[in-house]
Amino acid sequence: MLTEERYSIILDKVKSRETVKIQDLIEATGASESTIRRDLTELEKKKFIKRIHGGARLMEKKTDEPSMDEKSAKNLHQKREIARLAASFIEKGDCIFLDAGTTTKQLIEFLPDEDLIVVTNGLMHVDELMKKGIRTYLTGGVIKPKTNAVIGRGAIDSLRAYRFDKAFMGTNGVHYESGYTTPDPEEAQVKAEAMSLSREVFVLADAEKIGEIAFARFGELQEAFLITEAIEENASLYYKQTSVKEVKQ
């Protein structure tokens, strides 16, 4: 079978199922495992698919953004472990910015109960922060219905009243060339402003975000510590640019 024929079969499988295992592709093409792995590497370089452990999935469109319900149900264990590690960098008396997002929401459980100030643009964070008795400030701005993030000029203006010891950011994409990205340019502006006002910045990203590129960039890799799982592809290109904190498997 010609290479282009295998590529066509692989892409058809990925498009029909969204994710596909290497073994399924071996059976569909009759090719060896090493050949399929080479094919997946080439298709990833061409930006058609995203390699994942044991297979591949369809590359997301630059402006695609799942809802909070969709994101909350994915990779929950990984997000909790990333959040647990992120919380270990918080010190008594810190003033922190907590970005909107499902991974940053997991961080709330591990926050110290007292002597901490949190500013957030995540409407979904407020109830849990209040239950813990944490002194909380919610930014102004417009509520984005799909993600319950507060964005817009009002959010940026209200952020400028604060200075942070640490900022904990969510992201839709982490790439060694394109940096940290998100589908919404308005939300990207809020993220970038919060990062600029913080002494230290931590980006929390599960493995599915590594290698992804969304529409709007809000930071370069070197502008933040990256807290994630083990990076399987092009790891050295990430380690050259930033400090990567990996959760223990």
User: Domain ranges in the chain?
Assistant: 3-58, 68-246
Confidence at 50, pLDDT banded by 50, 70, 90: confident
Averaged over 133-146, what is the pLDDT? 95
Q: Tens digit of pLDDT for each residue in 104-129?
A: 999 999 998 778 999 999 999 999 99
Indicate the CATH number of 3-58 among 2.60.120.10, 1.10.10.10, 1.10.1060.10, 1.10.1740.10: 1.10.10.10
Q: Tens digit of pLDDT for each residue in 176-191?
A: 999 999 999 999 999 9
pLDDT at 15: 81
How many residues in the chain? 249
Confidence at 72, pLDDT banded by 50, 70, 90: very low
Contact criterion met (CB below 8 Å) for 235 and 207: no
Least confident of 38-52, 78-92, 221-235: 38-52
As a CATH number, domain 68-246 is 3.40.50.1360
Token pair 């409407």 is at which residue? Answer: 123
Confidence at 71, pLDDT banded by 50, 70, 90: low
Which residues, 6+ apart, have CB-to-CB distance to 172 below 8 Å? 65, 181, 182, 183, 209, 212, 214
What is the rounded average pLDDT for all residues in the chain?
A: 90
User: DSSP string of 32-72?
Assistant: -HHHHHHHHHHHHHTTSEEEETTEEEEPPPTT----HHHHH
The β-bridge partners of 98 are: 120, 168
Averaged over 162-172, what is the pLDDT? 97
pLDDT at 65: 58
Q: Residue 42 corresponds to which amino acid?
A: E
pLDDT at 69: 53
Does residue 67 carry a pLDDT above 70?
no
Does residue 3 carry a pLDDT above 70?
yes
Give the predicted TM-score (pTM) of the model.
Answer: 0.77
Confidence at 12, pLDDT banded by 50, 70, 90: confident
The β-bridge partners of 227 are: 204, 245
- Among the listed residues 104, 142, 110, 153, the one whose alpha carbon sits nearest the alpha carbon of residue 124: 104
